[in-house]
Amino acid sequence: GAVVSQHPSWVICKSGTSVKIECRSLDFQATTMFWYRQFPKQSLMLMATSNEGSKATYEQGVEKDKFLINHASLTLSTLTVTSAHPEDSSFYICSASPATSYNEQFFGPGTRLTVL
């Protein structure tokens, strides 16, 4: 149990285009989902926390107009990288906390974004 999926697993896009990444909790309902970014040879950096039905809370330094997060249901959150540029190329990882277990957090497999 407690599986989190991400789609796509990798994406290549041209500079200036927008890319949407989906995060799904497959066998549980997640009231809270988190989005992280990881550059090569670096640690995970928390970007934002999203709660179902409300606006996401962004970490300091993360542009909310560039990284649009929608958490419209208890099993799906999406991250849209708007007007992507090469410096947005990174590994994007989501995680989800079950509604029944606030302290647990399960991670998705990640999405590799490459912006040309």
Partner 1 sequence: DAKTTQPPSMDCAEGRAANLPCNHSTISGNEYVYWYRQIHSQGPQYIIHGLKNNETNEMASLIITEDRKSSTLILPHATLRDTAVYYCIVRGGATNKLIFGTGTLLAVQP
Which residue ranges make up the site for partner 1 (CB under 8 A)? 4, 6, 32, 34, 36, 43-46, 49, 91, 93, 95, 97, 102-110, 112
Contact between residue 37 and residue 111 where contact means Cβ atoms under 8 Å apart: no
Least spacing, CB of residue 71 vs partner 1, in Å: 15
E strands within the chain?
4-7, 10-13, 19-25, 30-38, 45-51, 57-58, 67-73, 76-81, 90-98, 106-107, 111-115
Q: Which is nearer to partner 1, 46 or 72 (CB)?
A: 46
User: Judged by CB, which is closer to partner 1: 70, or 107?
Assistant: 107
**Closest-CA residue to 77 (of 66, 88, 92):** 92
- Least distance in Å: CB of 16 to partner 1? 27
Q: Residue 40 or residue 86: which is nearer to partner 1 going by CB? A: 40
Residue closer to partner 1 (CB basis): 7 or 112 = 112
Strand-strand pairing, 10-13 and 111-115: parallel
In the complex, least distance from residue 10 CB atom to partner 1, rounded to whole angstroms: 10
* DSSP reduced 3-state for 57: strand
